[in-house]
Structure 1
C-alpha cells in the first residue's frame, strides 16, 4: 500500500478493520436478509467510531430493513452534507477460494467484494471522525445492491434528502492494490432484465406435428435475439444482450405447453436502451407468430448507467492523487457493462463512483461473481482513505461555493 494510505491507520485500527472484513466474509447474507451483517456493522461503528467523537454519541439510523446510515459530524454543522456509500449484501454462489475465512453459509458468498465495501465505509467513518470534513458526512451501509433494489429503498426513506454529493467505489482485481480509477464518463451500464414466455400446444414427442412447439420457438428466439446487438445497434455503441435462463418441459418424450427464457440487457445511453427493449419485444412477437405460439414479454428497467460528471470526478481524482500518487490514478481502460445501483443515487444527487485495485502482488485478475473471487486486504485501506479524503475535498469545495 502507498505510505500515505498506511499513515492514516494505526496498527490497532488496521487489525480491527481486517477482523471486521473477515467476519463479514465468513458470514455472508443475501439481499434484504443482511440481519447479522447489519448488526455487526452497527457494533463496529459503536466500537471504532464513537470513541473518536469526544463524548458525543454517534447518530445511527436503520434504513431499508437491514441497512444503516451513520452521521459523522463535520467541523461546521451548517456546511453542506456529503455521503459515502458501502454496499453489504452477498451473492448466491458456493465459495471456492479456500480462504481460512471462507463462507460458512453454504451457497452464499461475498463474490463481489461487498464485505470490503462495508468495511471500508466503517474505515472511512473512523478517518472522518479523526479528521472531520467541513460538513457532516453520512456513511450509508446499503443492502440489496446485487438485486438492484437497495439504493431506491434508501432514497425512499428520505434520509439522504438534502445531501449535496455522494461517493462510492468498487473493488476490482484487474488493478493492483494502490491503483484507483477516478475518471469522468461511463463507469457502469444500465442493468435491465427480461423474461419471455412462449405458450404453445403440448403433444407426444413422437408426434410433433400435433403440437405448437414452444421449445423450438425458444431456441429460435434465443438465436434471433443476438441479432439485435449484431444488426440493430450501432457498432460504435456498447450493448450486451444475454439470455441466461431457459425452462421448459418435464420429460424427454413430451413436448411441453410452454417455455420461458430470461436474461439481461446492458446499455450505456438512453437511446440504445430504448432501442434494444423495443427490438426484443418485436423479435419475440415475430417468432411467436411464425410458430403459432402465444407470447408474454416482461422487460424490467434496472439501475441506470453510471456516468461520472467531470466536476465530482475531479474531487475524487484530487483525493486519490494525494493518497496514491498521480501514477496510480489509472484509466478504466474498458467499457464496463456491469451494473451498479449506485446509479440510482446519482440520478438525484451529484456524485462519482470509483474502482479500487484489489489484486495482491503476483495475484490473478479474478473476475467478480466468480466462486474464486476475493479482494486483497490492502484494498480495504485504500478504499477507506480515498473515500474519506474525497468526502473532505468535496465538502470543502461545496462549502466554499
Structure 2
C-alpha cells in the first residue's frame, strides 16, 4: 500500500530498549521464516504429496496441481529476491510478461511503462470485460526477514506483499484458463502502487475503458490463511499529504529577541494540529492527522530563518477529507501569524478512499463462499487508514478490493512496510482462487448468464 515506514537508516539495530525489542522480534521472525521455507505442506505437494496436506482450505487445494504450486512459489520467490522500486520494475515486468506468454495468455503487452496486461479468453468473447489487478513494485526498505530468498538488492524490499499479489494474479490467470469466465478477463499487473502513480497511469492508457468490473486484493497478516475480508463501502483511506513552511528571521541563539523563531512556531503548530481530529471531526468518523517529518536549523546556537513540517491526512469520507485539509491549513496559518511568522501551506492530494461497490462486493463475497467457506469471510476489525491506489479504479469502475489472510496460525502479526514482513506463501493460492472466482461471478452477472 502506498505508505512508507522503516527505511535503511531507521537504526533498528541500535541497543536502545526499543531497538533491542525490535531485534528480538527480528530473531523470532527469522527463525519462523527459516522453519517454513520450504514449509512442510509445500514440500509434500512439490514431491507429489496429496493436496490435503496443504495448509489451505480444501476447495483451494483441489484447484492446483503439485507442478502449478511449485511454479507459483518459484515465481513469487524470484520476484521477492529481485525487488524494484516504483516505475523501475523492468526485470519484474520482463519476468511476468515471459510467464504470461509461456501460459498462452492472449495479447500480452506492456502498459503504463513497466506494467503488463494480458487477456484470458472467456466462453463468449463479446461478453462484458472484467479485470483482475495485481501490483508489482517494492519499497525502499532493507530486508531483515532471514528468508533464503530475501532481497539481494540493497535497500529495496517487497515489504508490502506485491510479489505475492503479482503471483496470485498469475494464479488467477491459470484458474481462469482452466475454467473460463463467461467473458474475457483482463489481467493487469500494475506498476507504481507505492508511489500512487500506477493506477492513474493505467487508466490514462484507456486499456480499462471497456471493463465492467474490476477486482484486486492485498495480503493482510491480521487474518490467517484461509480467511478474507470482503465487504462493501470504505475499506481503505484517502491518503493526502501536507507541507508547512514557516518563515521568520534568523538570529544568534544567545539573542533570540533579535529574530523571529520558526522552531517555536513549528512546535506550536504541531501541538495544535493534534486537536484537529479530536475537536473538529465527528467522533464516529475515522480520521488521522500525523506529522511525520520536521526540518529546521543546522547548528545548536543559531536560530534559523525557516522551519518545515510534513505530514499525512487520512479519511474515509470525502467531506472529512476536505475538512482535514481546511483545518490543517487554518491551524498552520493562524498559529504562524500568532508567532509573527509567514506560513506557506502546500496540500498534496493523494489516493482517494477505497470504496467497494456494493454489487461487486456481493459478487465477490458470494463467489468466495464455496472457496473458503462463509465463516472465513471476516469483517474489518477496525477502520483501515492505509492508502491504496486501487481506489482510482473504483472511482471509474465498479469493483471490490479484498484483503486476504496471509498469516499462519501461531505466527505473529507483523505490519507491512517493515523489514520483517513475510506473508505466508499459502496466500498466493487463496488469493488467486478468490480473484478468479470473483471474476467468473462478475462476468456471469454482467453477461446475464448467472
TM-score, length basis structure 1: 0.97
Whether 1:4 and 2:59 are equivalent positions in the alignment is: yes
Aligned to 2:341: 293
Whole-angstrom CA distance in 2 between matches of 1:85 and 1:324: 21
Whether 1:305 and 2:360 are equivalent positions in the alignment is: no
CA contact (8 A) 2:225 2:405 kept: yes
Structure 2 counterparts to residues 2-401 of structure 1, below 5 A: 2-47=57-102, 49-50=103-104, 58-400=106-448
Secondary structure in 2 matching 1:347 = helix
CA contact (8 A) 2:357 2:394 kept: no
> For residues 196-223 of structure 1, what are the alpha-carbon distances to aligned partners after superposition, in whole Å with 9 as ceiling and x for unaligned?
1111111111111111111111111111
Whole-angstrom CA distance in 1 between matches of 2:358 and 2:90: 37
- The number of residues matched between the two structures is 394
Q: Offset of 1:257 from its aligned partner?
A: 1.4
CA contact (8 A) 2:80 2:163 kept: yes
Q: Offset of 1:92 from its aligned partner?
A: 1.1
Q: Offset of 1:76 from its aligned partner?
A: 0.4
5+ residue gaps, structure 1: none
5+ residue gaps, structure 2: 1-55
Q: Which runs of 4+ in 1 moved over 2 A?
A: none
Q: Offset of 1:90 from its aligned partner?
A: 0.9
Whole-angstrom CA distance in 2 between matches of 1:220 and 1:286: 11
Secondary structure in 1 matching 2:196 = coil
Whole-angstrom CA distance in 2 between matches of 1:145 and 1:78: 31
Q: Offset of 1:61 from its aligned partner?
A: 2.1
Whole-angstrom CA distance in 1 between matches of 2:295 and 2:79: 34
Secondary structure in 2 matching 1:234 = coil
CA contact (8 A) 2:97 2:109 kept: no
Q: Offset of 1:18 from its aligned partner?
A: 0.5
Aligned to 2:17: none
Whole-angstrom CA distance in 1 between matches of 2:126 and 2:134: 25
> For residues 51-72 of structure 1, what are the alpha-carbon distances to aligned partners after superposition, in whole Å with 9 as ceiling and x for unaligned?
xx6xxxx211211111011111
TM-score, length basis structure 2: 0.86
Whole-angstrom CA distance in 2 between matches of 1:313 and 1:144: 25
Higher mean alpha-carbon deviation, 378-387 vs 326-335, is at: 326-335
Whole-angstrom CA distance in 2 between matches of 1:228 and 1:282: 10
Whole-angstrom CA distance in 2 between matches of 1:165 and 1:77: 16
